[in-house]
Structure 1
């Protein structure tokens, strides 16, 4: 196995690192406090101009064509500085990939350049509902055919970038008589159309700069041309794209965990107790050794899943393994970093408090750790 990054992958990783250090890190704490909203949105536009909103999208639609490995590397580097920016970038890339994979040529030409150029600040992935999170087949949002239109009714929950997404990829039941999970279709719905209501952002524990909104459809009429792919075959699309999204969230978690350990490492090299640096104490050395080993294992699992997807090979189980391990290890890494700072780690003056809050959701969204274990075990036992 070749672990060497290509010249393009290295360039994208380094560009993401430079952007994170210069544009994100100085303002990340203010973003977390609800400040500098214009700067946050401006950074999304800058990332689009750098090619980061279409990393696995064809050049003819304004994409970078850099591939899945480059996408994983970029999300990791962005997350080291600002998890809110990283998750917005990750989900927007996922939306673009759904459109590229399932949309017809007219849909691709209409929406992908708007996403990749930053004309749309973000894309929205409308799958989760108040009563259908880990079980998307149980969704209740409906799309009823009415002449040359569909009428949407229902609600979606926890939609990343809901209030500033330019377009939503929306799943809805189109055949109530079909077997469970078989009568679901996927649509493209533009933000701002009549009948689409985006609720105020949720008050969250972490990743506060990334808007998370409930989205309601109230007799929302969309043209029949908004249907992507075959009618009643949409759930398979969702499950396939979630597998790819798990590479993004695992990469995001890896970035936060690495940043937490790096900060803790640097802190104990400078901080003295009992007349010597804290880094001289074996107990703390072992905490770092375990944390960095787990982060390296997470990185390798993510690279395996990314390489398989990039090569067009089955990757869903490997993506679940990578997401499960990376997010759980990153949660642990953030608490290790916080512990290394002692009381200061609990203080908002230091970034570990924010990192510990930001990382927590990674083992929940894009499929909880429990769902990942279910996916993995089913493959093992099949």
Structure 2
């Protein structure tokens, strides 16, 4: 109850801002390999470690932090989730990196040096953070998929308009099969991606969404955006790479979508694992 009043309610009303910290310099896709540790000390937790690529930590009031709290019988890290105020003693919010994608996006590096937080600030059960993380990532992967579809639609609209108006060799370039077939493929891919996205969103409402569903949707939609934005630039030629039209930004921004919220390789791992495990493989 105290955590709800102190963190959840003011975040919902916009009085407080939060960020989430999973990734570390040495632990990206391998989240169980994180080095940040939380050790129980009486009724408190002592946190030490470093997180990076933390979105908008510089304007956040607290962080939803994942840290190792032990090991299982195979020697793998057991993770737990904590709520940590960023003005807490022992927390440093440092400047992050300049990113070629999403230039309006700011990432930060978080350092924890003997940061002490109350025992009650653990979110969920101790050592169950990995399971909690996977539940959250399924939803955020669909968010990435949705923005990818929308930007692909915008890139396509620009390319379509260009194809209908740009003239070369005495006629609009959309009359050339080399361009018109690109448009056909782009439109088909966008429709397929949107149908996958809508099905996954529907499954969320039905409470039947699986990790495989989320992974397939994120994988296809983000890779589709890369293909569509690249073809849109090809149709527009040199002007496609100029900042006078938004294609170069869509193209740049598309690159990160195949990395954050789980790389394309991780999505393929999730999909293939879900196919093979029922067969005992």
Do Structure 1 and Structure 2 share a fold, with TM-score over 0.5?
yes
Is 1:119 the counterpart of 2:15? The answer is: yes
Partner Cα separation in structure 1 for residue 150 and residue 115 of structure 2:
39
For structure 1, which runs of at least 5 residues remain unmatched after alignment? 1-104
SS at match of 2:156: helix
In structure 2, the CA distance between the partners of 1:249 and 1:322, relative to structure 1 (3 Å rule), is same
Partner Cα separation in structure 2 for residue 359 and residue 168 of structure 1:
27
Deviations 1:258-291 (A, max 9, x none): 1111111112222211222222222211111111
Q: How does 1:262-301 map to 2 (within 5 A)?
A: 262-301=157-196
Deviates more, 1:148-157 or 1:264-273: 264-273
Q: How does 1:77-96 map to 2 (within 5 A)?
A: none
Say whether the 8 Å CA contact 2:53–2:96 is kept in structure 1. Answer: no
Q: Residue in 1 aligned with 2:2?
A: 106
Is 1:240 the counterpart of 2:135? The answer is: yes
Is 1:226 the counterpart of 2:124? The answer is: no
What displacement does 1:188 show?
Answer: 0.8
In structure 2, the CA distance between the partners of 1:297 and 1:278, relative to structure 1 (3 Å rule), is same
Over aligned residues, Cα RMSD in angstroms? Answer: 1.6
Partner Cα separation in structure 2 for residue 170 and residue 180 of structure 1:
21
Is 1:163 the counterpart of 2:58? The answer is: yes
What displacement does 1:231 show?
Answer: 1.0
Q: Residue in 1 aligned with 2:248?
A: 353
In structure 2, the CA distance between the partners of 1:199 and 1:178, relative to structure 1 (3 Å rule), is farther
In structure 2, the CA distance between the partners of 1:154 and 1:368, relative to structure 1 (3 Å rule), is same
Q: Residue in 2 aligned with 1:198?
A: 93
The structure carrying a bigger strand percent of its residues is 2
Q: Residue in 1 aligned with 2:84?
A: 189
Larger Rg: 2
Deviations 1:209-232 (A, max 9, x none): 111112111111111111011111
Is 1:147 the counterpart of 2:38? The answer is: no
Deviates more, 1:326-335 or 1:284-293: 284-293
Partner Cα separation in structure 2 for residue 180 and residue 270 of structure 1:
62
2:218 corresponds to which of 315, 323, 333 = 323
Say whether the 8 Å CA contact 2:71–2:77 is kept in structure 1. Answer: no
TM-score for the superposition, normalised by structure 1: 0.69
Deviates more, 1:206-215 or 1:176-185: 176-185
